Structure 1
Amino acid sequence: MSTATASSPDAVTGPTPEQEARRRRTVAWVVALATLGLIFDGYDLVVYGTVVPLFLADATQIGQVTPPVAGALGSYALFGVLVGALLAGSVADIVGRRKVMLTAYAWFSVGMGATAVMSSIGGFGLMRFVTGIGVGALVATTGALVAEYAPAGKKNLANAITYSGVPIGSLMAALLAILLLEQIGWRGMFWIGALPLLTLLPLAFFLMPESPSWLASRGRLEEAREVSERTGVPIISASAPAAGDATAPVRRERAGFAGLFGRQYWFPTLVLGLMSATGLILVYVLNTWLPELMGRAGYSTQGSLSFLLVLNGGAVVAALVASRLADRFGPKPVVVASFVCGAVSLSLLTLNAPLALLLLFVAVVGAGTSGTQILIYGFVANYYRTNVRSAGVAWCAGFGRLGGVAGPMVGGLLVAAGLGLEAIFYVLTGLATFGALLTLLVPVARGAAAARTVPVEPTAPAQQSAGR
């Protein structure tokens, strides 16, 4: 039987080549499925924006949609995300990550399909809210599962790859609307969002395993060892019994939000929630208003949209690069630096620079806003112990979503106040600076220090599948 390594809490001493191969295969499946799920999440949240002009121009679609009504309909999904994320946080720490993720795949797929057949404003808005619940549940749970399967030294990278699915899905929504909206109409665009019910859900049912660390944290050691053996992924748990002592009592700690707001975590939880909210204000102000702001600066419609594409492209590329630095130096200094880069680049957008240079600044702004938010999810997913990890990510996604709801309104208020382009960018610069200061307040994580690896005793021939 292998023994735990004190110096490396995320590895088992002397893993065999077969174990390493099983682990690599499992991690690849988990990250791929999780990323694909968040691509559809990003698509579902942004596809509404691609059909708003049609709703405003044609009352025969779902009824007479005015700009205020269009804004309200857009907010329903975001409120649903908030509700779904907060509900999923406690549920996933109690019933498991796998069950919540499979339910979320089915939930938002059915929601998108139901939205596609709505013929009234009320029905459309209700189904947008319902769909948002599934989206929020998935966003809140994915980071916890990926963090528990990713190998040491690559946890932030794995989360960055996974959460990059959200801006990738946003880009897909825009591109598919350009290519297909006239041919398939808005209903067809929403039916595309229902495809995971027939594609992703069956794959995840057979290939998405439960977290062995979560099983161990709930005292289900035999199941945890079986999953760990089958997948090649060691058990990381602060509450598991000592190596070789399967009969020792399991120390049960408060799970979900009860543990999240306990004595150990209440302060970092508040700060991390505010960090996420600040980041999402920036994300949604820019994604909603950047084309309009650049149009006011004299750029054409196509030119204004190019700024939006560069913004999200810069976020994905920078998050993947920065996540490697976060794995090496820790996420906190990297998130601080990312916020600072965003602040500096936002201030540089006030310069009368050539288009090529402005696009470069916008790419860095994307890195410091949407890219920072991707890093924050990885930061949070790896900050908390297993018993409260889903609740922590849910809090980040749920409470932070208040910033997402507020973002478009903040941008609208700044524009309605008659502020010039430079003044608006300076306000956003201040928000990014505030995000960096909040990050500096996050204390060093203590939960991870107590975590250790539980060795796995062979019980049966290892199976090749990384499924249940």
Structure 2
Amino acid sequence: MNRTTTTPDPTARRRAVVIALCWALVLLDGIDTFVYGSVLPEMIGSGQLGLTDATAGEIGSATTFGMLVGTVLSGTVTRWVGRRPAVFASVALFTAATLGSGLAGSAVVFGFCRLLCGFGLGALLPIAIAYGMEFWPGNRRALATGVITTAHQAGGALAPLIALVLVDTAGWRWVFVAGAVPAVVLLPVAVRLLPESPAILAARGRSQEAAAVSAEHGLASAAPVPAAPAPERPDRWAGLRALFRGGRWPVTLLFWLTSFAGLMLVYGVGQWLPKIMGDLGYETGDALLFSTALNVGGIVGMVVAGRLADLVGARRIVVAWFALTAVFVHLLGVHLPVAVLYVVVFFAGLLLFSGQSMVYAAVGAHHDAGDRDTALGWVAGMGRFGAVFGPWLGGALLAAGRADLGFTAFAVTGLFGAAMMALASLTIRFRGPRSSRQRSEAGG
């Protein structure tokens, strides 16, 4: 009896290593992003740094402002130095700053550490998404985006659990330390195993290296080799200008506005959910576990949205998801039985986090590999204005004693995001996508 045996594909294993490393690094990003919201009730209650609702909101906004700068610079810097160095620098920065947050002796030092942390946190995610889109097998870029961003929500789900274990026994400072330690182990592994992007190598004129990395990872068509050598002094801002040339500026701006709404939801709801729920009368344990339920919903949503987006188009999913997010976020402010509220929180997380990740999928599908890093960096960076505004708005409403209005404001934001992506889709349909590939991938 003859048995057919299949030989494992070494290139598939190497691609899997790249995806796994990006996922693990984004997991650390998620923990260090959401750890602040998880310990915020204890930090304010302990009075150790003199934080109030208003100053806590300002520090949250400082963190997201740092993310804004880091995200905007990530795409451009990646074109200058490559993805590998940008990834390593961003992880090292947010890890050191998270550790510094746990050691801070004053609100000023703590806020400065969170600002620095934001630089690194903001830079990593768009680069990791671009890696995923390039190294994912087949042509499922939306699914690649969804899978990579599940790590961010997994980190968001772990952060309140870490806080629940450590806050009462060791204090809030050790929660930050626990969030920083894993990177000390993971970063050297990434330095050893993570390859440079073939697309970036080709764009920088290193065509032979690009071809070698592509062959090693089974990406023969992923990094086209230029027919002529690249100029010695390439135009480093060409990627940004390409987002506005040829009548592309309306779509670029609409993508940016959609991302503004999405990240206002992600960081506004993500940071303030435990505190608002506590102010609305729920137990501290439930308030923290609501954050876990929110992020577990986000993990499920990333995979579901990614699969659906590859079938019907990422832009369509964004419009539907943001509209539904408005409904479920509004329900968070309604006094419901705790068991029912957990279900509402789960679906709110499923929709709002994956809705934002599909914004990245839509942008990534709309752009070619050569300018994808820049497009993703800038759409995430402009969205960070919403990430700055969301925590500030939550803090201002809490300081004014109007916690009940917080979820209503975020629900309106969801409707705004749906409208902006719908306008982007109409504009692309009117002007026509740049290629048949984009028509099939982005839901044109």
TM interval, shorter chain, is 0.7 to 0.9
Between the two proteins, the alignment pairs up a number of residues equal to 425
Counterpart of 1:284 in structure 2 is 267
The question of whether the paired residues in 2 share the 8 Å contact of 1:84 and 1:134 is answered with: yes
Which of these residues, 92, 98, 101, is aligned with residue 84 of structure 2?
98
Counterpart of 1:208 in structure 2 is 194
Counterpart of 2:54 in structure 1 is 68
* TM-score, normalised with respect to structure 2: 0.85
Tell me, what secondary structure is at the counterpart of 2:376? helix
Residue 431 (structure 1) shift: 2.2
Which of these residues, 413, 416, 420, is aligned with residue 434 of structure 1?
416
Amino acid corresponding to residue 416 of structure 2 in structure 1: F
CA distance in 2, matches of 1:205, 1:337: 39
The question of whether the paired residues in 2 share the 8 Å contact of 1:98 and 1:209 is answered with: yes
Match status 1:308 vs 2:291: yes
1:31-66 Cα distance to aligned partner (Å, 9 max, x none)? 21111111111111222233434443556x5x4434
Residue 424 (structure 1) shift: 5.5
Residue 225 (structure 1) shift: 0.9
Question: Unpaired runs of 5+ in structure 2?
Answer: 1-5, 439-444
Which of these residues, 164, 169, 174, is aligned with residue 188 of structure 1?
174
Amino acid corresponding to residue 370 of structure 2 in structure 1: N
CA distance in 2, matches of 1:419, 1:127: 29
Tell me, what secondary structure is at the counterpart of 1:398? helix
Give the greater-gyration-radius structure (CA): 1
**Shift in CA distance, 364/158, structure 1 to aligned 2, threshold 3 Å:** same
Which of these residues, 366, 375, 378, is aligned with residue 395 of structure 1?
378
Counterpart of 1:378 in structure 2 is 361
Counterpart of 1:149 in structure 2 is 135
Tell me, what secondary structure is at the counterpart of 2:301? helix
The question of whether the paired residues in 1 share the 8 Å contact of 2:53 and 2:395 is answered with: no
Counterpart of 1:226 in structure 2 is 212
The question of whether the paired residues in 1 share the 8 Å contact of 2:37 and 2:271 is answered with: no
Counterpart of 2:153 in structure 1 is 167
Question: Unpaired runs of 5+ in structure 1?
Answer: 1-16, 242-246, 452-468
Over aligned residue pairs, what C-alpha RMSD do you find?
3.0
Counterpart of 2:119 in structure 1 is 133
Match status 1:24 vs 2:12: yes
Residue 356 (structure 1) shift: 3.9
CA distance in 2, matches of 1:212, 1:288: 37
**Shift in CA distance, 185/310, structure 1 to aligned 2, threshold 3 Å:** closer
Amino acid corresponding to residue 104 of structure 1 in structure 2: S
- What aligned pairs does 1:344-383 form with structure 2 within 5 A after superposition? 344-347=327-330, 354-383=337-366
CA distance in 1, matches of 2:39, 2:284: 17
Counterpart of 1:405 in structure 2 is 388
Amino acid corresponding to residue 149 of structure 1 in structure 2: F
Which of these residues, 329, 337, 340, is aligned with residue 320 of structure 2?
337
Residue 118 (structure 1) shift: 3.1
**Shift in CA distance, 119/263, structure 1 to aligned 2, threshold 3 Å:** same
Q: Which moved more, 1:290-299 or 1:74-83?
A: 290-299
**Shift in CA distance, 381/195, structure 1 to aligned 2, threshold 3 Å:** farther
Counterpart of 1:198 in structure 2 is 184
**Shift in CA distance, 144/240, structure 1 to aligned 2, threshold 3 Å:** same
Q: When you count helix as a share of all residues, which structure comes out higher? A: 2
Match status 1:273 vs 2:259: no
